[in-house]
A and B are shown apart, each in its own frame.
Chain A
């Protein structure tokens, strides 16, 4: 864990640096490559240019040389003619004469860009022309037959002079051309060299970049590898933790299906992994719930995100069928792939066994201690009591000390045993109705002697009205005796301890007040803990065990009550015990109400149970029922929803139309009740749910007959889902009578016929939206509280119109019941 946390940020930093390098390489490499390509292209182009320049230069040289060679041809032809006098020798002469002008004009063109050459060319041209003119002159003379003049003209050397001039100009041109070519080729070489270096440089850069990228990639891979290794190590560690855990660890998906298990789960439950995976977790319960129940449980847990769920004890079942106690902790785990539940299950068989052993040990030790203590305390008691004759004062004093301490030891052991019993739930409570006034008087009487010994006055303010509680009289006496003896012990001599009983409607309050020094502030939070005494030396002098108040609180709580105290230094202390009031049973003489039981299965335990307290008539068929209903009034009609669904509705209508039974309350019961109920909900007064509690049905009938609706508010539930209607009615059945309506139409007719204490409303119904009822509801029923129970989330617009807004998926049924009950009560308080 820690290694991962430390290395990750660091490696992430270097990783980014490597990554940058690679990206840089990827971006730069193509640019460099393009540059190199461009350079190579330029190099080629310049080579081409050079080649072209060289060939142009060679062409120009050839032209220069061709002028020379044309003149040589011309000279040769002229000489041949002069010597032989044959016209045919003049052929080259003529050809050259014809070519030369063309050659010279081509040369002008070829050397156009070189002014120096043009100048030389002009010289050459002039020389060439003069030479040709001279030659023409010579040839013309010879042709005229003056061979001597011609020969003399040749001998004059002018031809040679002209020829030399021409040769000189042409030679200079050749040299200039050579220099020109040299310059061009030097330039080309220089350019190529520069380009080559540039190319090499770029290639080097590219190489460097690629190397860097390669290194970076390598590092990155290495880092990844390391991270993977770390991750693997981490996951191996976690797997090792999971695999070596003693507790079974399961991962469930929201529908309660097991997705993964650890080896401990396999060991604990005895199933193979394959037998557990993809199965409903319900199979691990001692009593497997129906499929889907686990999912419902998970939803109802309402766990906060990632907050470990509270431990709960569940009895598990192994493959072998053996059941065993487990502690189960459930945690919501929002994984990437969706919500999961991590369930940690601990086999607590051993703990339970040890707890039992400990309890047995404590119990045995205490019992074993009691036996010798009995002898010791007994002997000392006899001595102190003077059974062995008069003792000297000193001996008597010592004996008294020994005796009171032996007594204290006995009390301590008794208290330890009590604590043990209370904690292990082995303390049995024989709860019966108790008249508190007389119980308190008795406790007071029993402590009178003790109070006298402390010179403390005991007072009891008897209330004017009787107060009854359901409690174990011995335990209650123990509580009061303990509080009284505490109060007495801490009272100043001549002080007064008063016991007050304040009867209440729901709870009675018993107060024990003393005028002692009060409980120091710092002990207020711990006063009910075991072995906590405000001043241990003081308490020891008072003979306390330090367990009394802890036992008192435990007993009071097990009696369904609570204990608290007020204490101010030097003003005394009041301990208040609140016990739930026992509502007086109706003791008025029981009238045997007449009941008509209609339905196919009238011979049942129900009939037997009712028969004892009610005057029961039965009708198994419709005609019998009609006949009975016509024969006289009944106090109640009980209709069973059986196989003949239509019959029930007919009976209900018949009752309402009959002359002697039109106001008789109808109670309906049955499994598939919603179909009938919603046809005319207002006609049925109460709806009993199967399984019927045979013992209480008589009571329910009587309550209905007496119109005891103060105790049972009537609630209208509007929802188009019959399952929701049924579930809510069942959940509320203890607290209220629920009239179910499946549509707006049914709800309207119910609103017209009956007054409701609260309305539970769904927003989406088959024939419209729930809020459409509002106007009608307000008109007929005033400010009846409305609780929305819908699949939709509250929206701001209409949320204000309702007392509460509960969303189906998010609200456990229990909460709905609480909310509705609260609003119903508030409504009652307003009226």
Chain B
């Protein structure tokens, strides 16, 4: 069984690092998007098992993207925010937006896949 992971971030370098980190798990199939808009296009066709969403992005930020995912397409796909602002106080606020989890930047590349898997197992 392989898991489809969609990683959304406007930073190309980070997309690459994240992809490499996630692919350390042989069961993960990873695709990346550079914006919320791209993600919204990718979602219905590729149907990822989990979406990792950068919170701070130009144009449409993480919160707006999540809202579009939930509102427009009524998806139940788990969404995890990746954020540089993850103070513990913010985490609760982000979860309140409808995300299933929050991973703080900078993440440990060797453990990223592990942490994402927690969400998959829990589902």
Partner of B17, one of A367, A379, A421, A427: A379
User: Contact at B106–A385, with CB atoms within 8 Å?
Assistant: no
Whether the pair A382, B110 counts as a contact (CB closer than 8 A) is: yes
Decide yes or no whether A377 CB sits under 8 A from chain B.
Answer: yes
Are B87 and A417 in contact, CB atoms less than 8 angstroms apart?
A: yes
Chain B contributes a number of interface residues (CB within 8 A of A) equal to: 21
Question: CA A381 – CA B20 in complex, angstroms?
Answer: 11
Question: Which chain B positions have C-beta within 8 A of A385?
Answer: 24, 109-110
* Separation of A410 and B14 alpha carbons in the complex (Å): 16
Judge whether B13 is part of the interface by a CB distance below 8 angstroms: yes
With A370-B84, A371-B84 known as contacts, the answer to whether A387 contacts B21 (CB < 8 A) is yes
Determine which of A370, A382, A430 lies in contact with B105 in the assembled complex, contact meaning CB atoms within 8 Å: A370
Residue A474 interfacial (CB < 8 Å): yes
- Say which residue of A372, A373, A375, A421 sits within 8 Å of B87 (CB atoms): A421
A421 to B86, CA, bound (A): 13
Q: Is A204 an interface residue (CB 8 A)?
A: no
Query: Which of chain B's residues 1-22 have a Cβ closer than 8 Å to chain A?
Result: 11, 13-14, 17-18, 20-21
B117 nearest CB across to chain A (Å): 16
Smallest Cβ distance from B47 to chain A, in angstroms?
27
* Alpha-carbon gap, A388 to B14, bound state (A): 16
Q: How far is the CA of A305 from the CA of B87 in the complex (A)?
A: 48
CB neighbours (8 Å) of A624 from chain B are none
Is B108 an interface residue, CB under 8 A from the partner?
yes
Cα–Cα, bound, A421→B56 (Å): 20
Decide if the interface of chain B is mainly helix, strand, loop or mixed.
loop
Question: With A367-B85, A387-B21 in contact, is A381–B14 under 8 Å at CB?
Answer: no
Contact (Cβ within 8 A) B20 A387: yes
CA distance A802 to B109 in the complex (A): 72
* A381–B109 touching, CB < 8 Å: yes
Chain A residues lying within 8 Å of B87, measured Cβ to Cβ, are: 417, 421, 427
A6 within 8 A of B: no
- How far does the alpha carbon of A382 sit from the alpha carbon of B106 in the complex, in Å? 13
List residues of chain A with CB within 8 A of the CB of B84: 367, 370-371, 374
Q: How many residues of A contact B (CB 8 A)?
A: 23
Cβ contact within 8 Å between B20 and A374: no
What is the number of contacts between chain A and chain B, taking CB atoms within 8 Å? 64
**A382, B89: Cβ atoms closer than 8 Å:** no
**Interface: B118 (CB within 8 A):** no
Is A428 among interface residues, defined by CB-CB distance under 8 A?
Answer: yes
Is B88 a contact partner of A382 (Cβ separation < 8 A)? no
Contact with B along A461-480 (1 / 0, CB 8 A): 00000000000001000000
In chain B, positions 69-117 with a C-beta closer than 8 Å to chain A are: 84-85, 87-89, 92, 105-110
For the complex formed, measure the closest distance between the CB of B91 and the CB atoms of chain A, giving whole angstroms: 9
User: Which chain B positions have C-beta within 8 A of A560?
Assistant: none
> Does A387 contact B109, Cβ atoms closer than 8 Å?
yes
A381–B84 CA distance with the chains assembled, in angstroms:
18
Interface centre among A381, A382, A427 (most CB of B within 10 A): A381
For residue A428, give the distance in angstroms from its CB to the closest CB of chain B: 4
Which one, B24, B92, B109, contacts A379 given CB within 8 A?
A: B109
Looking at A371, A379, A426, the one whose CB has the most chain B CB atoms below 10 A away is: A371
From A371, A377, A378, contact of B18 by CB (8 A): A378
Q: A367-B84, A371-B84, A387-B21 are in contact. Are A381 and B89 (CB under 8 A)?
A: no
What residue of chain B has the Cβ atom nearest to residue A472's Cβ? B88
Q: Are A387 and B13 in contact (CB under 8 A)?
A: no
Question: A367 and B56 in contact (CB under 8 A), knowing A375-B17, A427-B89?
Answer: yes
Q: Is the CB of B106 within 8 A of A387?
A: no
Residues of A within 8 A of B14 (CB): 371, 374-375, 378
Which of A370, A375, A385, A427 has the most B CB atoms < 10 Å from its CB?
A375
B13 nearest CB across to chain A (Å): 4
Contact B20 A382 (CB under 8 A): yes
Chain A: minimal CB distance from B113 (Å): 10
Q: Which chain A positions have C-beta within 8 A of B21?
A: 378, 381-382, 387
Q: List 7 A-B contacts (CB under 8 A).
A: A370-B105, A370-B106, A378-B17, A381-B108, A382-B24, A427-B87, A427-B89
What is the interface of chain A, defined by CB distance below 8 A to chain B? Answer: 367, 370-375, 377-379, 381-382, 385, 387-388, 410, 417, 421, 426-428, 430, 474
- Given A374-B17, A381-B108, A385-B109, 12 new contacts (CB under 8 A): A370-B106, A371-B14, A375-B11, A375-B13, A377-B106, A378-B14, A378-B17, A378-B21, A381-B109, A387-B24, A388-B20, A428-B89
